Homo-oligomer: A and B are copies of this chain.
């Protein structure tokens, strides 16, 4: 028996029509210029998206060809977000922060035919261009293309000139909702970046989730400040969600430093904002010495990395702004979970909920899988790798089989933690960093935080090292504070109060400096290599 309901394709064109139609006059994209803002109504964005689509057709973009963007968060990037998928092509947002060789790889791998580039990013893009094998057209937005040397066979266009003569309506094609709409590569640290190809369906459903009251609660009444880059997991879905419900959106362009962020908040009065913890840390530090009115913010969304509880408390207690902790990744569109406490939670219990990664919504099924593949209970204690599935979760990478990451319809997130009976996810480690000791898992992050609680310790890194009896045991590498002293036995005694006995590390080493990655995270791969090469002087306690 079939239902008598319409199919009602879930497509970007529908989002485009809704934002530019009924919300066309009231909603705006507001782009920061460094000194103030430029504004464009969603009706104008809709007209210009139609012009862009005509222009791209004119450049020969047909079918599902890829159109790259090498852009900051701004109005023109929003136009490309809407026009490219709605016309049936595929938007490829290029992460300007990848290493040049990775950028070249992803453009060639996705076979981008056209790239839209911000004029301010031309110095960076120009260096890549000679290596890009499939790019036929470069469209420069926001100013001239001065200084760009185009290789043979590549044409350079000015965005505004290209749009100027085009019709302001476009007959958006009917598309299969499962067809490709946009793609985004994750920045692998060990291998080549991997591409995730979002469908119209996945983006549409994800946008609804962003606007659900238990999601980010985005509504027509909002003005969203999208600090998280549009080349980073689709700016967490804000541009599409805002267009779907007619929320205005504030775009910082290239002004991502705390000073301008605070200034644009005071000037444009966004009601919500989304960014990684380090951005918010900088904003708080800036506000402490250079006060601005940020009272328009009803909520601030933090994700991309675990948010320090102190950051959440400062926002709430000093500025009256609740922080919504969210978890997700490029492969999850990215909204996986948000930490809205259950009704009625108060006090420290409330903070515990809010510091967790939150609850997975109906659209994201989750399970914890232990070391030997068994599915673990949601008891708030059993620790395993989180696996997820659902209509906005990736099933594969583009043209790059990775059976390690996907199995039985589940995505292995690489995140390790536990889930409470009421569904609150608490991540404790990355799977590759967890220590697998006698069938039990020990969180390296948890041990690090506890060792760093000792007054003599500046930094502590924990890795798993081979152990005959337990298969793996934790090794703690300690950087002492200048002029402070502590030995392994003292530090272990210090842990005894807060760490289960079987988790207490027996391997200790003292190092002058912690190896770190280019973005300042502990480089455990390097520490492991030092250990394997015999470069560490390790003490073993009994």
Contact = CB atoms under 8 A, between A and B. Distances in A.
Contacts of A195: 4
Interface string A324-361: 00000000000000001011000000000000000111
Contacts of A180: 1-3
Interface stretch (A305-313, A389-397, A446-454, A513-521): A389-397
B5 A393 contact: yes
Nearest to A424: B22
A213 B208 contact: no
B393 A8 contact: yes
Given A14-B362, A212-B212, A422-B23, A6 B245 contact: no
A392 B18 CA distance: 17
Nearest to A362: B18
Contact of A392 (B8, B64, B213, B343): B8
A55 interface: no
A275 interface: no
A3 B202 contact: yes
Contacts of A196: 4-5
Interface string A429-455: 000000000000000000000000000
Interface in A191-223: 195-199, 201-202, 205, 208-209, 211-214, 217-221
A411 B200 CA distance: 24
B4 A398 contact: yes
Given A90-B1, A362-B244, A220 B394 contact: no
Contact of A26 (B22, B342, B363): B342
Given A180-B2, A198-B3, A362-B244, A10 B391 contact: yes
Contacts of A421: 22, 25
Contacts of A5: 178, 196-199, 201-202, 391-395
Main SS at interface, chain A? loop
Contacts of A202: 3, 5
How many protomers of this protein does the assembly include? 2
A144 interface: no
A431 B17 CA distance: 27
A422 B209 CA distance: 24
Interface in A432-482: none
A365 interface: yes
Contacts of A393: 5-6, 8
A106 to B, nearest CB: 14
A34 interface: no
B245 A362 contact: yes
A108 interface: no
Contacts of A212: 208, 211-213, 219, 245
A343 B221 contact: yes
A356 to B, nearest CB: 12
A52 to B, nearest CB: 20
A89 B105 CA distance: 50
A409 interface: yes
Contact of A390 (B6, B15, B25, B244): B6
Contacts of A360: 22
A294 interface: no
A7 B219 contact: no
Contacts of A21: 378, 423
Contacts of A411: 6
A422 B25 contact: yes
Contacts of A220: 214, 340, 342-343
Contacts of A214: 211, 219-220, 245
Given A4-B394, A14-B362, A244-B362, 20 more contacts: A1-B90, A1-B179, A2-B178, A2-B199, A4-B196, A4-B396, A4-B398, A5-B178, A5-B197, A5-B393, A6-B411, A7-B178, A7-B395, A8-B392, A9-B391, A22-B360, A211-B212, A212-B213, A213-B217, A221-B342
28 contacts: A1-B64, A1-B180, A2-B180, A2-B199, A3-B197, A4-B195, A4-B395, A4-B397, A5-B201, A5-B202, A5-B391, A6-B390, A6-B394, A6-B409, A6-B411, A7-B178, A7-B395, A17-B365, A18-B361, A21-B423, A22-B360, A22-B378, A23-B422, A26-B342, A208-B209, A208-B212, A213-B217, A213-B245
